[in-house]
Each structure stands twice: as C-alpha cells, then as structure tokens.
Amino acid sequence: MIEFKDVGLVYPNGTEGLKKINVTINDGEFIVIVGLSGAGKSTFIRSINRLVTPTSGSLLVDNEDILKYRGSDMRKLRTKTGMIFQNYNLVKRSNVLKNVLAGRLGHTSTLRSILNLYKKEDIGLAYESLQRVNIAEKIYNRADELSGGQQQRVSIARVLTQQPKYILADEPVASLDPPTSHQVMTYLKKINKEDNITTIVNLHFIDMAMEYADRIIGMRAGEVVFDGPVSEVSESTFEEIYGRSIREDDLRGGADKS
C-alpha cells in the first residue's frame, strides 16, 4: 500500500512540483494518472521510488515512511518498485538479455553482478520474462537494433525480472504509435492481473486511460483534482482535469487493434 500524506515538493528553482497530495493506493490496483504535461505526474510517480525527494509531508510505502530512507533502505525500496520510462532507457550497446538481467541488480551483490555471475534462477527468470512479452528470440540482439515497441517490451521484461511489488510507468507509450501503444498497455494490464502487481501509469491520452485503468487520478498544477474509479469518469471530468475542452490530440485512437 502506498499512502501520500500531505506530500509537497518544491524544486530547488522554486517550482512547486507537488502541493499537499493526499492519495492512498491499494495493492493490486491499476491506476492511471492523467494531466497535461507539467501537471506533476512524473514528479508524483518518481517520488514513490525516490528518484525525486518530496520536501514536505510523509509518503508511506508498506507502512514505512520512505522520505527518511537513505543508503540500503533506498536500495530495498527501489528493488520492490520497478520503473518503465518513456524513452525505454535501455543500454543501447548491450544485448537484450544483459539489459533484462539489469533488473536483478538490486537483488545481486556488486561483485557477482560485475563478474556476470548471475544465479541460474536469475537468468532463467530473465528469459521467462522475455518470453512473457514475446521477444525471447531477440535475446542476443543489441538493444538499439530493436524498434521502439520492442525496446519498450524489453524494458517491461526488465521490470518483470526485478519481481517488484509495484510498477511505475512514466509515459510508457508517449513515443510509440497507436497499435504498439495498445500492445504495451495490454502487457502492463496483463501483468497487473496475473502477478497482482500494483501498477501506476502516467498517460495523457484520455481514451487509453479510460480503456485500461481501474482508477483514475487527475492532476493539474501539482494538485490532485480528481480521484475515482473509471465508472465515475466522463468527458466533463477530463475537461475539469485539463482545465479546457477536450481536443483530438488528447486521444490516442487505434483502440480497435487487430
């Protein structure tokens, strides 16, 4: 369970990233956070694994205040929260298997990982994860030889290999075309259901949020302006979140995938 209690974040340059956020995220939920760029979606998600550090309030993950974490506690926290990025963030010159094995770094000692002495189970797990996202045939390809959608699937496999309790996905489909976007979201949803991993996804496409989310959190200017199940969401909700009327580029389209 993740609990935001009056969480605020002011960046060193004075920008307020988060303003008094109060949100509780239950285990197994699939949450989509929507909002315009600059609304604080990324800051929200990155607070959970402390890639950014909120400056006030308290943030509880499994009943422990992670804002006090440093050193090995932080490593433990990051080991149980996997992250997926907009730009996939793979090491382009390394092969797919090595990229996926990087998901085990938090579980592996420094010496073992530097000497490539991964446990057999870990390598097995990495291969299994690649099979789950249907890209196992590419294990020895260099990451930069793959298409965008394939790279994002590799990064999902990396997160799976990490065996996290939470998955944070920061705009995972923003660099992909509509069919690939739906494919990636489908994998995320499937993993959420099969492994019961709490998943929090940042999106700015309304139709995708509606299609995949159990619950939607709307953000505007660092504040949560909507929080509720998808059933309560209508077009006017989005207009409220975005502070303007809905336009065509707020939709991803291509939902009728083949």
Partner 1 sequence: MTNETNSTTPKKVPAIYPAKTKLQVTVIFFVVLGIYLFSMSWTQQQMAGGFSGALSNMFNVIEKFFPPNTAVISAIWGPMVETIQMAIIATTVAAILTVPLALLAAENVTTFKPLYIVTRTFLNLLRTIPDLVLAVIFVGLFGIGLFPGILALIIFSLGILAKLISETIESVDMNPLEAMRASGGNVFQVIWYALIPQVLPQFTSLVLYVFEINIRASVVLGLVGAGGIGLILNQQLGFYNYPNAMMIIILIFVVVIAIEYISTKIREALL
Binding site for partner 1 (CB under 8 A): 49, 51, 75-76, 78-79, 81-83, 85, 87, 89-94, 98, 102-103, 105-108, 110, 113-114, 155, 158-159, 162
By beta-carbon proximity to partner 1, the closer residue of 111 and 247 is: 111
**What minimum distance in Å lies between the beta carbon of 47 and partner 1?**
12
The encoded tokens of residue 24 equal 């509780």
By beta-carbon proximity to partner 1, the closer residue of 57 and 82 is: 82
**What minimum distance in Å lies between the beta carbon of 29 and partner 1?**
20
By beta-carbon proximity to partner 1, the closer residue of 152 and 215 is: 152
By beta-carbon proximity to partner 1, the closer residue of 165 and 220 is: 165
**What minimum distance in Å lies between the beta carbon of 25 and partner 1?**
18
Burial 146-185 (b: 16+ CB within 10 A, else e): beebbbbbbbbbbbbbbbbbbbbbbbbbbbbebebbbbbb
**What minimum distance in Å lies between the beta carbon of 17 and partner 1?**
17
Residue 140 CB burial class (10 angstroms; 0-12, 13-18, ≥19): exposed
**What minimum distance in Å lies between the beta carbon of 255 and partner 1?**
29
Phi, psi for 88 (deg, rounded to 5): 65, -40
By beta-carbon proximity to partner 1, the closer residue of 33 and 90 is: 90
By beta-carbon proximity to partner 1, the closer residue of 52 and 255 is: 52
Burial 65-75 (b: 16+ CB within 10 A, else e): ebbebeeeeee
Residue 52 CB burial class (10 angstroms; 0-12, 13-18, ≥19): middle
The encoded tokens of residue 110 equal 């420094």
Reported in sequence order, the residue ranges of 26-103 that DSSP labels E, i.e. its strands, are: 30-34, 56-61, 64-65, 81-84
Dihedral sign of CA atoms 93, 91, 116, 96 in order: negative
**What minimum distance in Å lies between the beta carbon of 235 and partner 1?**
34
